[in-house]
Amino acid sequence: MLPIKNRKALISGGGSGIGRAVAAKLASTIPTAIADIQFPAAPLPHIQAFPCDVSSGPAIDELFAQVQHTLGTPDILVCCAGRGIHEKLTEGDPEKWRQIVDVNLMGALRLVRAFVPGMLAQGSGDVVFVSSVAAGQAYPYGGVYAATKTALEVVAETLRLEVLPTVRVTVVAPGVTDTAFFEHTVSGFHTAADLGYGSLAAADVADAVLYALQQPPGVSINHLTIRPVRQPF
């Protein structure tokens, strides 16, 4: 694997969890920016932080202007912002479902539309979508969340076909990961512990992201699935 150098990275959802772990690893070697709706009290060393709600078109426009001004065109875009929901389709709240679609799917699409044209213009780039093992996996109370991740993976493959060979596109699909994801679920009651499969650390998933980014320029890792060893799906 090649070291990551002479590049610039932007990570959505970089204020916590997997996004923060990815940002921390990249910031040790390259200029890195994160976008999120909120940030932890503790500072993130060597990382530029931009408040941004990825579900908002105007917010993405402002993020683009700020990133271009302070960082320039990112060579690496990691779409990590996402929220969970656990509701029965016959009883759930469609307004909450819309929020999940806007963040998990439309947020990534807006980021692609804003930043990938610059990668194409400069002749190279990497886009990483953080998906989930829920993609393509129907399960009770998980229909809306799984649908957004399934759609995200279709978007990723479509983007790969549209931008090859200039921009590499990778999906990283984690299983149960011990982050604040469950605390911020719009509706639901699970924790990483009570699912009973064990869990990954955010840094484990970040290592998978870096594995894809560190490949030689002619090698594209298009899909990585990473799970706790006890997780069956």
Q: List, by residue number, the catalytic residues.
A: 145, 149
| Among candidate residues 40, 41, 51, 45, the one with its CA nearest the CA of residue 17 | 40
H or E segment and range at residue 224: strand 223-226
Residue 162 is classified by DSSP as: H
Q: If you count them, how many residues does the chain have?
A: 233
Residue 160: phi and psi, rounded to 5, are -55, -45
Q: Are 126 and 167 in contact (CB under 8 A)?
A: yes
Query: What is d(CA 42, CA 15) in angstroms, rounded to the nearest whole number?
Result: 10
Cα separation, 64 vs 113, in Å, equals 10
Q: Could you identify the residue written with the tokens 């908002």?
A: 56
CA dist., res. 96 & res. 100, Å (int): 7
Cis peptide before 165, with omega less than 30 degrees from 0? yes
Neighbours of 166 (CB within 10 A): 14
